[in-house]
Amino acid sequence: MHHSPIKHCRNCGAPVVYRVPDDGDTRERAVCPQCQTIHYENPLNVVGTVPHLGEQVLLCKRNIEPRRGKWTLPAGFMELNETTAQGAARETEEEAGAQFEMEALFAILSVARVGQVHLFYTARLLHDRFDPGHETMEARLFSEAEIPWDDIAFRTVKETLERYFSDRHAGRLGFHTVDIH
């Protein structure tokens, strides 16, 4: 199953064919019949934070599709030449305009169906003033009771928030791995 099939070789531009390469591989790949380049398609990393201040967490109201108008944790696709923590911090700055201190990795969620891995760090907010970027309509703090659960943009965000508050009640933050089917 190919999400957005590769049509042309990134090396020489010739049309590719999907077949199992002759190198002992077991999966169908986009192979260039001209220059023999094998094109691998790998999952994308989404990185973000659970920014918190006291008992509250910061959520961003999305100003872009998908799920425009829904609430999310600040997160986005990791860029080349940055660590997962640097990417999570960058997304938090861009989407929330928050000032914070990065903390530990909190959750890794595998969303195999769409070829993504989501990594969320906790981040301690330094104050409650935010200057969100163009991707965000509004950035604001919510207590657990105020979380708009029915208006959360993504299942990965809902799962991460549920675990965060559950850990808070237990008195210590754990580390979570979640498979979303």
* pLDDT per position as a tens digit, 72-102: 999 999 999 999 999 999 999 999 999 999 9
Residue 27 sits in a domain of what CATH number?
2.20.70.10
Residues 24 and 90 reside in one and the same domain: no
CATH at 167:
3.90.79.10
Would you state the pLDDT for residue 3?
53
Indicate if the pLDDT at residue 2 is higher than 80.
Answer: no
The answer on 104 and 126 residing in a single domain is yes
- pTM, to two decimals: 0.89
For the cut 60, the answer to whether the pLDDT of residue 1 exceeds it is no
**Cα–Cα distance between 50 and 109 in angstroms, integer?**
14
Residue whose pair of structure tokens reads 């169908």 in the numeric block: 28
Structural domains counted in the chain: 2
| Tokens 């989501």 belong to residue | 118
Pull the structure tokens for residue 81.
């030449």
List of residues 6+ apart from 117 with CB closer than 8 A: 43, 44, 45, 46, 108, 109, 110, 111
